[in-house]
Structure 1
Amino acid sequence: MDIKVLIVDDHAVVRSGIRAVLDTKPGITVVGEASDGRSCIKKALELKPDIVLMDLSMPNGRDGLYTTSELLQSMPEVKVIILTMHNDEQYLFRALKSGASGYVLKSAPISELVTAIKQVQQGMVYLQPADTKKVIQAYLHGNAEDAVDRFETLTEREKEIFTLVAKGYTNKEVAELLTISVKTVENHKGNIMEKLKLSNRRELMEFAFKRGLLEFD
């Protein structure tokens, strides 16, 4: 029986490219595509994929890791492979903590992605050799938890506000976009700054940039 794959990425060209290649691989069937976190959950519940290829950076305050955690709460039998451009150990540890079973760079050859899909389907965790070394070193030094990004402590609403503020939206503009009061935005911003241990807007921008959260739609 073929491995059923759902591709989740906010760029249609990326989804089409991955699908075109995987459609030529025996034993793998792409059953659908999704462009963001919400549609991912909906499509997964409808199509029942075995594997979800999940982009890391997505819009609307639901990045790939948040979506992975949410998906696995509803469908724990599904396996998620994070497919990303970020070769960063912070993202790697966050991916593993969210429940992902694999972490593959978009720059990797398609043969590696196919290998990851097959290994994860068999119940294994797939990491590139360099990533495996990072995980082992972190475990030996007892600092894997320290490497997990504080961003995951934010609520979904706080993530939405954080992303908009980082992109330069004013409190009034954020309030209008999210249909909430300016006072509510200010309160959320205070909570965000406290949770992320940030002191000013410059630090907030740096935090967002380092974590790849400033990808404009």
Structure 2
Amino acid sequence: MAGVLLVDDEELIRAGLRAILDSEPDIEVVGEAGDGAEVAGLVARLRPDVVLMDVRMPKVDGIRATAHLLSTMEDPPKVIVVTTFENDDYVYDALRAGASGFLLKRARPEEIVTAVRTVVAGESLLFPAAIRRLAESHRPEEKGRDALAKASLTERESEVLRLMAAGLSNVEIAGKLFLGIQTVKTHVGNVLAKLGARDRTQAVIRAYESGFITPAC
């Protein structure tokens, strides 16, 4: 059973999400919060697998709450940020902080359920087109270039990172590069480790930040 914590300052939004998720046999809403300031305490007590985090809240927003949670907890839950607009800079910043992906508040019920199941399974909610649009307004950073240079990715790992950024799954990457699935998993793991990334989404964000991948790619 996957436990979910709902964090949104609008009670109506929380009620709608609870109704959707609690109707699934393998998902349970274990708690709710109306602001990011409440998140750390609730996560420590309830130990959810996933936090659905509103990106804009009046006191502590979803970016700060996500960054604090992922940087201070030894085994933090996955975070999916929830937003009204996919081109919101807040979303990009939340992904940089380590969120596993994002959902729009207008997402269909089945998309919300799939998102939770996806991150529980250890995957990321990677939307290549949306991340590319977000990256267009953020110039590559010098420290990002330095970090990628120091990572010393092999030629094969660089290929895998580009395909990850295009949204390909491990199975699709294996087919594209004519590799075994376990070999691809090893390459993906190496890329994440070398970039110090929690998951595929954060690795792709860092690839954009460094200029290794550009929005025009």
| Structure with bigger RCO (C-alpha 8 Å, 6+ apart) | 2
Q: Secondary structure at the match of 2:94?
A: helix
| Aligned pair partner of 1:143 in 132, 139, 145 | 139
Q: Which runs of 5+ in 2 are unaligned?
A: 143-217
Percent identical: 42
My pick for the range that moved more, 85-94 or 8-17, is 85-94
Q: For residue 19 of structure 2, what is the amino acid of its counterpart?
A: A
**C-alpha separation in 2, matches of 1:123 and 1:112:** 17
**C-alpha separation in 1, matches of 2:132 and 2:66:** 24
CA contact (8 A) 1:89 1:131 kept: no
Aligned-pair CA distance for 1:42:
1.3
CA contact (8 A) 2:55 2:91 kept: no
- Residue of structure 1 equivalent to 2:83: 84
Structure with greater Cα Rg: 1
Alignment of 1:65 onto 2:63: yes
Gap change, CA 1:39 and 1:142, over 3 Å in 2: closer
Indicate the RMSD between aligned Cα atoms, in angstroms: 2.3
Gap change, CA 1:17 and 1:142, over 3 Å in 2: closer
Question: For residues 116-157 of structure 1, what are the alpha-carbon distances to aligned partners after superposition, in whole Å with 9 as ceiling and x for unaligned?
Answer: 11111122110345325447x75xx993559xxxxxxxxxxx
- Residue of structure 2 equivalent to 1:199: none
**C-alpha separation in 1, matches of 2:140 and 2:104:** 20
Q: For residue 139 of structure 2, what is the amino acid of its counterpart?
A: N
Gap change, CA 1:144 and 1:114, over 3 Å in 2: farther
**C-alpha separation in 1, matches of 2:88 and 2:16:** 26
TM-score (norm 2): 0.59
Q: For residue 71 of structure 2, what is the amino acid of its counterpart?
A: Q
Q: Which runs of 5+ in 1 are unaligned?
A: 147-217
Aligned-pair CA distance for 1:17:
1.1
TM-score (norm 1): 0.59
- Residue of structure 2 equivalent to 1:3: 2
